[in-house]
Every structure is written in structure tokens, then in C-alpha cells.
Amino acid sequence: MADQADNRAPYAQIAAHYAALITSGDLQPGSLLPSIKTLSQEWSVSTATAEKALRKLRNEGLVRGIHGIGTEVLDRPAPMSSGAQRQDRGLVTGSSWGTGERSDSHQASVVPAPTDVAEALDIKPGSNVIRRSRVYRDRHGIVAHSTSWIPAQYGELIPQLTRSERLTGGTSLQLIAQATGRPIRHRFDTASARLLTREDTELLELDPAKTPKKPVVVMTAKFVDSEGAVVEYGVDLGGPDRTWQTESELSQ
């Protein structure tokens, strides 16, 4: 059952397969996943690999193990991704979307750079920048409102960056690297939390009269090319009840 074109480890392929079924709603909350033995047989992997796949799903908060019964699908919003994680995902899978995600409301315009954006991009406040925004959603609602700020000169090289439509031919970073011949070498990430402002409420399509009182996650990512130029600054505003998590493989 594993996709031969997928270069992820077998356990990750299995986990991704069931994560997609869960987040799309094909596997409803309360459903039971196949047993370790069944997964091992269906995917032609060892029981250790099958167990590792289920453990990954548990760690992602998508399922829980019930002693004597099996692995049950939970119903809760999936974690949000940072811009850096989307970049990594795109390199591995060819798509920046998380499992069960889609994006819409793609908007682009050339605007004066706000002070914080100008500082991040190392340009003068008020200089022209491209502002690209989109909304990531899954079946639970908005995962994050994402904004990319790009120096205006890249719009002259790549006109589609200034159009209000989904990019074709690659991500903004890939398109910029192709056009300039300078690969992206560094990225700087931050994670914080804040209470929603009135503008945040509008971006997340919430009822102002029912604005959540809990903080939301805010992620930023700054991308620098091989010559030290900052080519993009991204800000992701997480939806209510969204968390952020990372996973790393540690060598023994």
C-alpha cells in the first residue's frame, strides 16, 4: 500500500495515510484503526514499523490507544504549521499543505512596508513590499492566516508574485531562487502567543462579539539567500485552539 514515489520512511508513510483519512473525515472520531498485526501485513512492514506509525499518530494527537480495544480516532483540531515547516514539507512531498489542509483567499498587493516588516526585511520603513496572504483550512476550520512579505524588486522578476492567485511552478521561495540563481541558505523562526486584536479577529473570520479570550499561536519565519539578502518574511496567525508542535529524529 505504500506509495513508491514517497521518499519518507515506511512508518511515516503509514502515519500520513491514516492522518489524511482522519483529517478529511473519512475516518470518523471513535473509529478504530487496524491492529499492529494487520498494518504489518497490509503494508508489508515489520510489527515494529507498524507500531511506530501508530505511535506517531498518537504523538500528533490524532488517535489514542485503549487497552484491550485498540487505537481510536480522536476529534480535535490538528496542530498548525510554521512557514519553515511548510517549506520543509514542500521539499519532501511537493506540497506545502498539511494533511487534510487546503488554502484559499489568496490575495496579493504592493504596499508600504510596516515598521516591523521593514526591520525584518532590512529595508527602509515605507518602502514598497509585496504582501501575499492566504488562509489554510481543514475540516475543523481555519488552521492559520498566513502572510508573506517580499521586497518589491522580486515582483519585477516574477510578476505572478503580485497577482491575487495561488502560485504556480513552485513556492515563492523556489521561484525567487530560480529567478535570481541564489538558493535560500538560512531561515530564522520565532514562536509566540498573543490575545487576538480586532484585526486578528477579522483575518480569522471570527464573530467580534464572540472573540476567544485565550491566546493564539503566532509564528514568524525570515528567509535569507546565499548572498545574505532577506527575500521573505512570513507571519502565521494560528486559529483558535490550534497548537504548534515539531518532531525530530534523534540518533542513538
Q: What angle do CA 131, 187, 178 make, to 5 degrees?
A: 65
Could you tell me the CA-to-CA distances from 114 to 38, 123, 133, 173, 212 in Å, in that order? 55, 10, 15, 21, 26
Amino acid at residue number 164: S
Q: 86 versus 166: which is more confidently predicted? A: 166
Query: Binning pLDDT at 50, 70 and 90, where does residue 252 land?
Result: low
Q: What is the pairing mode between strands 230-238 and 70-73?
A: unpaired
191, 212 in Cβ contact below 8 A? no
Handedness of CA 180, 184, 187, 193 (dihedral sign): positive
Is pLDDT of 3 > 50? Answer: no
Task: Assign 4 a pLDDT band (cuts: 50, 70, 90).
Answer: very low
Residue 101: pLDDT over 90: no
pLDDT at 248 over 80: no
Q: Pick from 17, 18, 20: which is nearest to 3 by CA? A: 17
State the average pLDDT over residues 50-75: 91
Is residue 158 predicted with pLDDT exceeding 80?
A: yes
pLDDT band at 95 (very low <50, low <70, confident <90, very high): confident
pLDDT at 230 over 90: yes
Sort 180 into a burial class: Cβ within 10 Å, 0-12 / 13-18 / 19+.
middle
Cβ contact 219:189 at 8 Å: yes
pLDDT for 210: 85
Q: What is the predicted pLDDT for the residue at 251?
A: 59
Question: Higher model confidence: residue 131 or residue 137?
Answer: 131
Average predicted confidence (pLDDT) for the chain: 89
pLDDT recorded at residue 1? 55
Question: Lowest-confidence range among 89-103, 138-152, 203-217, 235-249?
Answer: 89-103
Q: What is the pLDDT of residue 109?
A: 98
Residues 220 and 201: beta-carbon distance below 8 Å:
no
> What's the pLDDT score for residue 2?
47
Burial of 224 (0-12, 13-18, 19+ CB in 10 A): middle
